[in-house]
C-alpha cells in the first residue's frame, strides 16, 4: 500500500511540474501581450522613434532586423547546407564526418557574446568594415551555422537509402542523385531548419552589440556598410538606458511584443511546414 502511495505522490509532483512549465510560458507571454497590445498601432509599426524614443514607432528597428536576417542567411544557408551534404552524403560515417560533427557541436556551444567579440575583432576592425550590416550579418551567420548544419543533416538523414540506391541503379551519378533525388525529398525539412535559424537570428542581442546595432538611428540603411537599429537591441536600450525609464516602458512593452510575435510566428511556421510535409510524406 505504501508503494502505491509514494507512487501517487511522486506522479502528482511530476504532473504539477509539467504544467508549471506551461504556466511559466503563459505568464511571460501573457504579461507581454497584456502590457504591449495597447501600444501596437500602425504608427508604432511604421514610424520612426521620436522625442527621445518616447513617441513614434520602431520601423527602423524592424527593417534593421530584417536586413540582418537576410544578410546572415546569405552567409549561413549555402555554407551550412553544403557542409551538411558533405558530411551526410560523401563521408557518412568516417573519421572526417565525426570530426566535423564534433566541431559543429563545439561551435554551437560558444556563447553569443564571444561571437560578438570575434565579429568586432575580425569584421569590424581587421577587415575595417566598421559597425555595419555586413559585419553583423557575418557574425550572426557564423553563430547560426551549427543550427543550419544540424537541421539540414537531420533532413538529409530522413531520406530513405532506397531512394539513393534506386537512383544509382538507374545510372545516375552521385551529384545527380543528390541534386534530383536527395535534395528535393529533404527540401521541406531543410526549409524548416532555415526558418528556425531565422527565428534564432532575429532574437540575438549580444553578437550585434559591437558589430552593427545603433542606439538611435531614425532612418533606413542605404548600403550594407550602414549601421542599423535592431529589435532586440532596441528593447535592451529602451529597458535599461535612456533619460526616462518609466516613460519608456510602454515603448519597451510594444517592442517586446513585436519581437516575440515575430519569433513565435517564425517558429510556428516552421512547425506547420514540418507537420504538413510529414503528413504528405506519410500518405505517399
Partner 1 sequence: MKKIIEKAIEKIFAFSGMVTTVTILLIIAFLFKEGAGLFNSPVVEKGYVLCVNANNPVEHISSADIKKIFNSVIEDWSEVTSGFDEKIELFYDEKILNNYGKDEWRAKIGEKIASTPGIIALVHDYEKSLPKNFEGVKILEENTILPKDFFLGFEWLPTSKPAPQFGVMPLILGTLLVSFVAILLATPLGIGVAIYLSELAQSRVRDILKPTIELLAGIPSVVYGFFGLVVLVPIIQKTFNLNVGETALTGSIILAIMALPTIITVAEDAMRSTPRAMREASLALGATHWQTIYKVVIPYAASGISAAVVLGIGRAIGETMVALMVTGNAARLPKLFEPVRTIPATIAAELGEAPGGGVHYQALFVLGCALFLITMAISITAELISKRQHNKGL
CA separation for the pair 158, 181 (Å, rounded): 13
Question: Least CB distance from residue 283 to partner 1, whole Å?
Answer: 20
Cβ–Cβ under 8 Å, residues 203 and 259: yes
Mask of contacts with partner 1, 34-73, x by CB under 8 A? ----------------------------------------
> Binding partner 1 by CB under 8 A: which of 191, 195, 235, 251?
235
Beta carbon of residue 194, minimum distance to partner 1 (angstroms, whole number): 15
Residue 230 to residue 216: CA distance in whole angstroms: 10
Asked if 74 touches partner 1 (CB under 8 A), the answer is no
> Quick count: other Cβ atoms within 10 Å of Cβ 161?
8
Nearest partner of 29 among 259, 275, 270, judged by Cα: 259
Structure letter (DSSP) for residue 210: T
Please report, in angstroms and rounded to a whole number, the separation of the first and last CA atoms in the chain.
51
Q: Contact at 8 Å (CB) between 120 and 211?
A: yes
Among 43, 92, 105, 184, which residue sits at the site for partner 1 (rule: CB under 8 A)? 105
Q: Read off the C-alpha cell for 218.
A: 531614425
Minimum distance between the CB of residue 252 and partner 1, rounded to whole angstroms?
7
- Find the shortest distance in angstroms from Cβ 141 to partner 1: 10
The rounded distance, in Å, linking the Cα atoms of 85 and 89 is: 5
Binding of partner 1 at residue 265 (CB under 8 A)? no
Residue closer to partner 1 (CB basis): 48 or 104: 104
16 vs 223, which CB is nearer to partner 1? 16
Q: How big is the CA angle at 153 (ends 87 and 141), to the nearest 5 degrees?
A: 95
Residue that is written with C-alpha cell 558530411 in the block: 87
The set of residues, in sequence order, having a beta carbon less than 8 Å from that of 78 and lying 6+ positions away, is none
The DSSP secondary-structure symbol of 211 reads: T
Applying the rule CB under 8 A, the residues between 205 and 224 that interact with partner 1 are: 205-206, 209-210
Binding mask 116-155 for partner 1 (x = CB under 8 A): xxx-xxx--xx---------------x--xx--x------
- Residue of the chain from 41, 271, 272, 281 that contacts partner 1 (CB under 8 A): 271
* 182-215 burial code (b ≥16 CB/10 A, e <16): bbebbebbbbbbbbbbbbbbbbbbbbbbbbbbbe
For residue 241, state whether it binds partner 1 (rule: CB under 8 A): no
Which of 51, 109, 128, 223: binder of partner 1 (CB under 8 A)?
109
User: Is residue 87 near partner 1 by the rule CB under 8 A?
Assistant: yes
> Contacts with partner 1: how many residues (CB under 8 A)?
86
- Give the interface segment with partner 1, choosing from 49-57, 78-86, 156-164, 185-193 (CB under 8 A): 78-86
Length of the chain: 284
SS3 for 57? coil
Decide: is 278 part of the binding site for partner 1 (CB under 8 A): no
**Judged by CB, which is closer to partner 1: 221, or 232?**
232
Which C-beta is closer to partner 1: that of 272 or that of 284?
272
Question: What span, in angstroms and rounded, lies between the C-alpha atoms of 21 and 23?
Answer: 5
> Measured from the CB of residue 168, what is the shortest distance to partner 1 in angstroms?
14
Amino acid at each position: 500500500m505504501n508503494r502505491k502511495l509514494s507512487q501517487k505522490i511522486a506522479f502528482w509532483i511530476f504532473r504539477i511540474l509539467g504544467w508549471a512549465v506551461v504556466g511559466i510560458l503563459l505568464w511571460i507571454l501573457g504579461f507581454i501581450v497584456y502590457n504591449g497590445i495597447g501600444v501596437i498601432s500602425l504608427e508604432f509599426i511604421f514610424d520612426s522613434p521620436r522625442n527621445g524614443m518616447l513617441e513614434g514607432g520602431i520601423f527602423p528597428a524592424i527593417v534593421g532586423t530584417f536586413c540582418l536576417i537576410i544578410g546572415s542567411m546569405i552567409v549561413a544557408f549555402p555554407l551550412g547546407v553544403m557542409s551538411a551534404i558533405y558530411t551526410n552524403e560523401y563521408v557518412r560515417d568516417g573519421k572526417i564526418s565525426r570530426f566535423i560533427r564534433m566541431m559543429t557541436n563545439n561551435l554551437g556551444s560558444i556563447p553569443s557574446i564571444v561571437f560578438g567579440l570575434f565579429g568586432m575583432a575580425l569584421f569590424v576592425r581587421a577587415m575595417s568594415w566598421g559597425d555595419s550590416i555586413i559585419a553583423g550579418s557575418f557574425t550572426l551567420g557564423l553563430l547560426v551555422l551549427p543550427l543550419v548544419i544540424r537541421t539540414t543533416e537531420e533532413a538529409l538523414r530522413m531520406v530513405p537509402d532506397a531512394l539513393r540506391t534506386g537512383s544509382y541503379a538507374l545510372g545516375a551519378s552521385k551529384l545527380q542523385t543528390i541534386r534530383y533525388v536527395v535534395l528535393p525529398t529533404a527540401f521541406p525539412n531543410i526549409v524548416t531548419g532555415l526558418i528556425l535559424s531565422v527565428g534564432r537570428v532575429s532574437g540575438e542581442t549580444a553578437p550585434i552589440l559591437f558589430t552593427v546595432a545603433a542606439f538611435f538611428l531614425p532612418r533606413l540603411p542605404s548600403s550594407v556598410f550602414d549601421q542599423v537599429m535592431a529589435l532586440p537591441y532596441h528593447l535592451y536600450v529602451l529597458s535599461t538606458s535612456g533619460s526616462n525609464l518609466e516613460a519608456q516602458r510602454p515603448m519597451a512593452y510594444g517592442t517586446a511584443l513585436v519581437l516575440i510575435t515575430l519569433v513565435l510566428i517564425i517558429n510556428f511556421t516552421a512547425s506547420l511546414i514540418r507537420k504538413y510535409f510529414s503528413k504528405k510524406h506519410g500518405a505517399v
